[in-house]
Chains A and B, each alone.
Chain A
C-alpha cells in the first residue's frame, strides 16, 4: 500500500509549473489504485479522486493530520470535473477500482466519499448496486475535507463553486502558452503582409512594419489572455467576445500613442486586429470558467466569430494597402 506524502517536494512543484504552463501538459497521470495518508484502519474514510497530478497534489496536501484511504480512479489524467463531464469519472470506473483494489477486505464500512464536482458524471445512488459501496458527495474543494470529515456534512459555502482572482490567475500561463503555436503559424503571414508595398520586401520597411504588427499581436494577447481573465468580474458585458473587444480597444490607445508615425489606415488596421485577436482569446477563456453554459457559449460564438473574422479580414486588407497610400 503506497503511503503518500502530504507535503510537496521540489519535483512536485516543478511538475506543477509544467502542468500549469502546458509543457507536456497531458503527461501528468498518477497511477490509479489505492493509496493512503497517515495510518488508516478498517473504520477510516475512503476518499475517491481523479488521477490528475494537480488534483492528487491538492488532495494529499490537505490531509496532513488525517488517516484515510485514497481511491484514485483512472480519469485519464484529467481533473474531476472535466473527467466527469467527459464520462471517464463514472460509476463504472469507481466500481471497477473498488473491486480491483479489494476495498471490501480493507475496510469494515461500505461508504465512499466522492468529490462534489464528480456529480455530473457519477450518479451516487447507482454505486451501491454496482460495487456494494454507497457514495456520498463531499465538498467541492479538497481544502474543506478536514472540516467535512469532522462535521460529517458540507456547508452551503463548501458546495458552491468560486472563481476568485487567485483561481483565475493560475489559468493565465496556460492561456498564453496555448497561443504560442498559433502565433508561430501567423509569423510568416505577418511578414508577407508587411512586405507587400510599392517596394516589395524592402528590408528596412518590411522589418519595421513586421515589428509593429507583432507588437500589436502581443497587446491583443495581454488584453484577451491576461487582462480579461484577471479583470473578469469588472469588465462590462456578459459576452466574452465583447469583454475581449472592450479591453483590446482600451489597450489600443497606449499602443497608438507609442507609435505616432503610423498613418490613419495603419491605425485602423491595427485597432481591428487587436480587437479581433483579444476578442477571440477572451472567447476561448469560456472553457476555463466554472459558470458558462454550453448553450450560452454557442449563442455568443456566432456573433463573436462573425466580428473576429471580418475584422481580421479588413485588417489584412488595410495593412498592405496602407503601404501604397503613404
Chain B
C-alpha cells in the first residue's frame, strides 16, 4: 500500500492514550497498519494512511479511539447520492457497493 497515498490531513482519527489499555486490538485489525504498541500503549505511526474504516474504534474495548462516525464509505457516488437524497427529503439509496 506504500504506492497509494491519499489526502494526508483529511482523516478524522483520535486516540486517547490515557484511556488506552494496550490490548493491541487496533494494531491487529488495521488494514493499513498505522498502529503499533509501544510501552503498553497504542501509538499512531502513520496517520496519513488512515482511511476511516473504523475497525480500530469498533474493536477498542475501552472506547479510546474516535474515527469519523459519518455513515457510508469513502465513495464519491455515495456522497453525491446522499446530498441528492437530502435535497429531495428521501432516504439515501446508496451507491450500489
Do residues B4 and A233 form an inter-chain contact, with CB atoms below 8 A?
yes
B45 at the interface (CB under 8 A from A): no
Contacts of A232 in B (CB 8 A): 4
Q: State the CA gap A121–B46 with chains docked (Å).
A: 22
Smallest CB–CB gap between A224 and chain B, Å?
12
A218 at the interface (CB under 8 A from B): no
Q: 1/0 contact trace for B78-97 toward A, CB 8 Å?
A: 11100000000000000111
Contact among B7, B12, B59, B73 with A300 in the assembled complex (CB-CB below 8 Å) = B7
Q: Interface range on chain B: under 10, 10 to 19, 20 to 34, or 35 or more?
A: 35 or more
Q: State the CA gap A306–B70 with chains docked (Å).
A: 23
Smallest CB–CB gap between A44 and chain B, Å?
24
Smallest CB–CB gap between A22 and chain B, Å?
8
A63 at the interface (CB under 8 A from B): no
Contacts of B76 in A (CB 8 A): 240, 283-284, 286-287, 297, 301, 304
Contacts of A287 in B (CB 8 A): 73-78, 95, 97
A123 at the interface (CB under 8 A from B): yes
Known: A292-B6, A300-B7. A286 touches B74 (CB 8 A): yes
Smallest CB–CB gap between B49 and chain A, Å?
7
Contacts of B28 in A (CB 8 A): 137, 159
Closest to B70 in A: A294
Do residues A161 and B68 form an inter-chain contact, with CB atoms below 8 A?
no
Q: State the CA gap A299–B11 with chains docked (Å).
A: 10
Closest to A140 in B: B31
Interface centre among A85, A288, A289, by most chain B C-beta atoms within 10 angstroms, is A85
Closest to B33 in A: A160
Extra contacts besides A296-B74, A297-B76 (7): CB < 8 Å: A116-B29, A125-B59, A159-B28, A291-B32, A291-B49, A294-B52, A295-B52
* 23 A–B contacts from the bound complex (CB under 8 Å): A85-B54, A85-B73, A117-B55, A120-B54, A124-B59, A160-B33, A162-B1, A163-B1, A163-B4, A286-B75, A287-B73, A287-B97, A291-B32, A293-B50, A294-B52, A294-B79, A295-B12, A295-B68, A296-B74, A297-B79, A298-B79, A301-B76, A301-B80
